[in-house]
Amino acid sequence: MMDDFAIEARLDEFAGETVMKKRIGFGYPINQESRLVSFYKWLWGSGVNLAMTDNAGDPFDMETEHLILNTLEYEREVIEFFGPLYGFEVDKLWGIVTFSGTDGNNHGLYFGSKYLEKKTGKKPVVYVSEAAHYSSMRLTDLQNLDMRLIPADVHGRMIPEELNKVLADDRPALMVFALGTTFKGGIDDMDAINAVLAGHPSIEVYRHVDAALFGGYIPHTRYRDMLNRKVHPFDSIAVSGHKFFGMDEPAGFFITTREIKENQNPFAVPYLNGSMPMINCLRSAMSPLKLWWIIKHTSEEDFVRQSTGMLERAQWLKEELTQMGWPAWLESASNTVYFKRPSKEIVTKYALAPDHDDRLGGDLSHIVIMQHVTKERLQGFLDDIKDHM
Ligand SMILES: Cc1ncc(COP(=O)(O)O)c(C=O)c1O
């Protein structure tokens, strides 16, 4: 066993490094401006910090008197807050707070495939762009679903004509729309893809949207219709909680309609109030509480300020790099600037994620402009690029 002094010394060193590094973590879509300072002040003295709480069962099943020590009612309120932002009707939606965006995609693929199977008696084919996050591919493999990977254009968007070439007319289609893609922030053109699908009227379609990062901010910008299912129909959406919202641990949410939830494999579980269509037995009780805290302490004006600020700084960075003669790109509605990969030293200093695209000259890096990625910090990065040119 280590003595207390050694334990604390080691942890203090780790804490110092964490606090220092979080300022310049530019390469991944994490909001390092914690929205939970006052939450922890409340939690510390509340007694909840010393209780084991968990969310088992359906947050939309109100007959849960025998389920105690949970935050199901907060979880439900979180889903009811976010659902309408994507065009879901409050009295027709269903959802859960997930462990991550990946967990939300797992539910999207699972719910989509079971819904289509129930409707058509056939297993669907999953169609997803090669630029989408790898979780959809991994999960398709995990769920033993057939997948067709559709080529993406240079902007990271699924090419609708390529989809048209491989659509299976005798099988239902489980579409995964990427909004936006992890590296380039490309946004699949739902209208163009739907036009292709409309040319195959015999195919039953389920549409799942992977909006892990963009799902957080798009509803608070002029691009909000992109993620409004009343404008572009979709059946379910997965968003990460730890990307835009300032959570301090992996989390997310999955939202769909009650109709889809009611057409799943039921697996009745009497001690959890009957039907359990979701994949995990227990979910975190803390994540819904933290998300609830965040939405109760953030005004719409504040969400708008954070979202538009990120997009403005992304535009500014792209223009500054271009003016310096450093090749850089930024997709519409995206907070992710991608550019010719700088020196190894800069890549390491700012924790820049790598990618490669021969169509754009080879090695690339990107910066995801989150709330903590200020102009001042970006200026430091630009100065570093200039020094190494
Ligand atoms: C587009 C996209 N989808 C899904 C994920 C996975 O989300 P999570 O890390 O919350 O599992 C990511 C992560 O970066 C992502 O960029």
Q: Tell me the DSSP string of 233-296.
A: --SEEEEESSSSS--SS--EEEEEEHHHHTTS----BGGGTB---SS-SEEESHHHHHHHHHHH
Distances from the Cα of 333 to the Cαs of 127, 140, 220, 233, 260, in angstroms?
23, 28, 11, 19, 29
Tokens of 215: 């799902």
Let me know whether 203 and 264 are in one domain: yes
Let me know whether 182 and 93 are in one domain: yes
Cα(183)–Cα(331) distance, rounded to whole angstroms? 11
Tell me, in angstroms, the distance from the centre of ligand 1 to residue 36's CA. 22
Pocket probe mutation, ligand 1, options 136, 177, 243, max atoms within 8 Å of Cβ:
243
Cα(150)–Cα(165) distance, rounded to whole angstroms? 10
Which burial class, exposed, middle or buried, applies to 135 when counting CB atoms under 10 A from its CB (0-12, 13-18, 19+)?
A: buried
Cα(306)–Cα(196) distance, rounded to whole angstroms? 36
Tell me, in angstroms, the distance from the centre of ligand 1 to residue 182's CA. 7
Let me know whether 216 and 352 are in one domain: no
Let me know whether 244 and 363 are in one domain: no
* Confidence (pLDDT) at 273: 62
Beta pairing partners, 47: none
Tell me, in angstroms, the distance from the centre of ligand 1 to residue 260's CA. 23
- Kindly report whether the global pTM for this prediction surpasses the value 0.85: yes
Distances from the Cα of 155 to the Cαs of 133, 188, 239, 279, in angstroms?
15, 10, 22, 34
Tokens of 371: 């709330």
Closest-lying ligand 1 atom to the alpha carbon of residue 29: 14
* Confidence (pLDDT) at 272: 65
Tell me, in angstroms, the distance from the centre of ligand 1 to residue 212's CA. 5
Evaluate: CB of 240 within 6 angstroms of ligand 1: yes
Let me know whether 289 and 334 are in one domain: no
Let me know whether 138 and 267 are in one domain: yes
Evaluate: CB of 129 within 6 angstroms of ligand 1: no
Percent of the chain having pLDDT more than 70? Answer: 97
Query: Residue 380's domain spans which residues?
Result: 4-30+300-387
> Which of the listed residues 232, 261, 296 is the one where a domain comes to its end?
296
Tell me, in angstroms, the distance from the centre of ligand 1 to residue 133's CA. 6
**Nearest residue by C-alpha to atom 10 in ligand 1:** 101
Evaluate: CB of 252 within 6 angstroms of ligand 1: yes
* Confidence (pLDDT) at 61: 84
Pocket probe mutation, ligand 1, options 109, 135, 242, max atoms within 8 Å of Cβ:
135
The whole-number average pLDDT for the span 319-331 is 98
> Which of the listed residues 265, 296, 327 is the one where a domain comes to its end?
296
Confidence check: pLDDT of 235 > 90 = yes
Closest-lying ligand 1 atom to the alpha carbon of residue 182: 16
The whole-number average pLDDT for the span 368-372 is 96
